[in-house]
Structures are given as structure tokens and as C-alpha cells.
Amino acid sequence: MDWNATLYEERHGFVAEYGKGLLEFVPVDPRQAILDLGCGTGTLTSELAARAGTVLGLDASPEMVTAARARFPDIDFITGDALELSFENRFDTVFSNAVFHWLPDHDRLLKNIRRALKPGGRLVCEFGAKGNVAAVENAFARACEERGLRYESRFTFPEPEAFARQLAENRFTCELVVAYARPTVLQNGESGLRHWLRQFFAAELRPLPESAQEALTSRVEELARPSLWNGKAWVADYRRLRAVAHS
Ligand SMILES: C[S@@+](CC[C@H](N)C(=O)[O-])C[C@H]1O[C@@H](n2cnc3c(N)ncnc32)[C@H](O)[C@@H]1O
């Protein structure tokens, strides 16, 4: 999918803000090398840099990497696909926030990460768990259906038990694998949900004419309002999976 780095930075800064809670699982060690997988515009990569000797931010989106380099010129950022990593025995920690649910093949991903880690290295990650943004997705699917459009979710949101199993199958030792509800207030009041849809359902919306995009997002708002509008803001029904595991 295409990522709009400016929109992401301006309106979805909460993604990295929430991800800061994950940093407590990354020890401060000036000898360690860290890979920030799916680094986006680099907010968390810069926090990781303060905990490590070296840090590398990798992201599939050239636009995100350009924005990250402009914000943090002293940090290394490269364009790359998490499903095509070629690193071997290189990092003490692989860190990743809000990325794995965009990737269809977690088995392949974990094999790549294991290969990239030094023996005894650590994976620290958080992403969408089963049920994440279910109310938003259901409203979107129904609005599409009403217009004769087919919506097929592109997300991979596993249950923690299934992800723990995949980690074990790839010879990781799990320290922590949990799911938790994290209701998330979307910025920009009444416009919050439509901004969120424009960023995260960009692949579905962009092929449609502007008027159709407008009608679809308005209908999603109508359908989601009873469960997600609290009178002042949209509160998306996020459910996250957090994992810490060793290779
Ligand atoms: C929601 S953003 C999270 C960015 C950052 N980790 C943060 O916490 O702000 C998801 C990021 O995953 C990246 N991404 C999606 N698929 C990817 C892939 N196959 N390989 C590497 N990065 C990917 C996107 O380009 C995007 O920057």
C-alpha cells in the first residue's frame, strides 16, 4: 500500500506515541545493534538510537524513508521489504511497532527476523491482534457492500496463542505474548475517522472517484457512530498484540 508520510506525521503521530510503551522492553546497551522494522517516519528509531550503539531503520515505503532521513539525518534508514530481508546474524534486537498486521506471511517474516538476529537476540514487537479495529472494518465492509463493492481485509490480526505458536515453530523462546484492548482516540474531532480511513484504507479508497470516496466515508461514519463516537471524538477499537521473544 502507499503511505502518505506527511499525513501520517501530521495526523497519525499517535501510532508512534503509543509505541513508546514498547521501548521499556529494549535494554539500554551501547554495544547493541538494533533493527527498527517498518520504521515509518523514524520517531521510534530515534528513541532506539539513544539505547544502542547502532540502529538501522528499514521501511518498504520510499516516501516514509525520505521523511525519516530528513527528520533524523544522523540515523541510517533504508528502503526494504520485511518479507525479503537478507541480513544474517547482524542484530541484537529487532524492534517493530504497528507493522506486522500489514504482512500476510508471518512465518516467512519470523524466519527472516530469526536469521537477522544474533544467537540469543531479541524480538520486541507490537501490532494488531484479532479483533483490532473490528467495528471500523465491519462498518467499512458494509458500506462497500451497499455500493456493490467487494471489501477483502488485507490485515493479518492473529490471536496471541497462534502468534506464540508461530514463534515457537521458528525456534523463538517467548518471554511475553499478550493481547490487550487499547481504545484509541483519533485526532481532529469530527474528521478523525475519515482521516484515519483515508490513511489506512487508502488502497481501497483511492481507485474511486472523489465523490464516491466522500459518500463511502460518510456512510462508514454513520454506521460506526453508535459504537465509536463518544460525543467529542472518535475512539477506534484497537486491540494490540505485544510480544517479546529470544532467538
Ligand atoms: C503504521 S506505520 C508504523 C511506523 C512506525 N513503526 C511507527 O511506529 O510510527 C506501518 C509502517 O510499516 C511499513 N511497512 C508495511 N509493509 C512493510 C513491509 N513489507 N516491509 C517493511 N515495512 C513495511 C509501512 O511503510 C509503514 O511505514
Residue 19 in contact with ligand 1 by CB distance below 6 A? yes
Mean pLDDT of 200-223: 96
Average pLDDT, the chain: 95
Does position 227 have pLDDT exceeding 80, yes or no? yes
Q: Is the pLDDT of residue 162 over 70?
A: yes
Site to substitute for ligand 1 among 99, 103, 157, 240, most atoms within 8 A of C-beta = 99
CA distances from 198 to 1, 12, 201 (A): 12, 11, 6
Please state the domain extents for the chain.
5-246
Q: What average pLDDT does this structure show over 169-175? A: 97
Nearby residues of 165 by Cβ (< 8 Å), 6 or more positions away: none
The pLDDT confidence band at residue 10, using thresholds 50, 70 and 90, is low
95 phi/psi in degrees, rounded to 5: -115, 140
Closest CA to 129 of 178, 166, 175: 178
Q: Name the residue with the closest Cα to ligand 1, atom 17.
A: 60
Q: For residue range 136-160, list pLDDT tens digits in order.
A: 999 999 999 999 999 999 999 999 9
CA of residue 226 to ligand 1 center, whole Å: 31
Q: CA nearest 97: which of 147, 36, 140, 53?
A: 36
Q: Is the pLDDT of residue 9 over 70?
A: no
The model's pLDDT over 67-102, given as tens digits with 9 standing for 90+, comes to 999 999 999 999 999 999 999 999 999 999 999 999
Flag the least confident range among 10-14, 25-29, 113-117, 231-235.
Answer: 10-14
In the predicted model, is pLDDT for residue 4 greater than 90? no
pLDDT surpassing 90 at residue 120: yes
State the Cα–Cα distance between residues 1 and 5, nearest whole angstrom. 12
Among 59, 85, 95, 182, say which to mutate for ligand 1: greatest number of ligand atoms within 8 Å of CB. Answer: 59
Contacts of 175 (CB under 8 A, 6+ apart): 244, 245, 246
Dihedral (CA of 9, 13, 17, 23) sign: negative
What pLDDT, on the 0 to 100 scale, is given for residue 14? 74
State the distance from the centre of ligand 1 to the C-alpha of 99, rounded, in angstroms. 5
Flag whether pLDDT at 8 surpasses 70. Answer: no
- Look at residue 183 and give its three-state secondary structure: coil
Nearest ligand 1 atom to alpha carbon 36: 6
26-69 confidence digits (pLDDT tens):
999 999 999 999 999 999 999 999 999 999 999 999 999 999 99
Cβ-in-10-Å burial (0-12, 13-18, 19+) of 206 comes to: exposed
| Helical segments of the chain, H only | 5-11, 14-19, 43-49, 62-71, 106-116, 134-146, 160-169, 192-200, 202-205, 210-228
Nearest to 77 by CA among 31, 133, 38: 38
pTM of the entire predicted model? 0.92
**19 confidence band (pLDDT: 50, 70, 90):** confident
Average pLDDT over residues 186-197: 95
Atom of ligand 1 lying closest to residue 64 CA: 27
The CATH H-level superfamily of 5-246 is: Vaccinia Virus protein VP39 (3.40.50.150)
Predicted pLDDT at 49: 97
Check residues 3 and 183 and name the one with the higher pLDDT: 183
Q: Residue 3 pLDDT more than 70?
A: no
- For the Cβ of 97 lying below 6 angstroms from any atom of ligand 1, the answer is yes
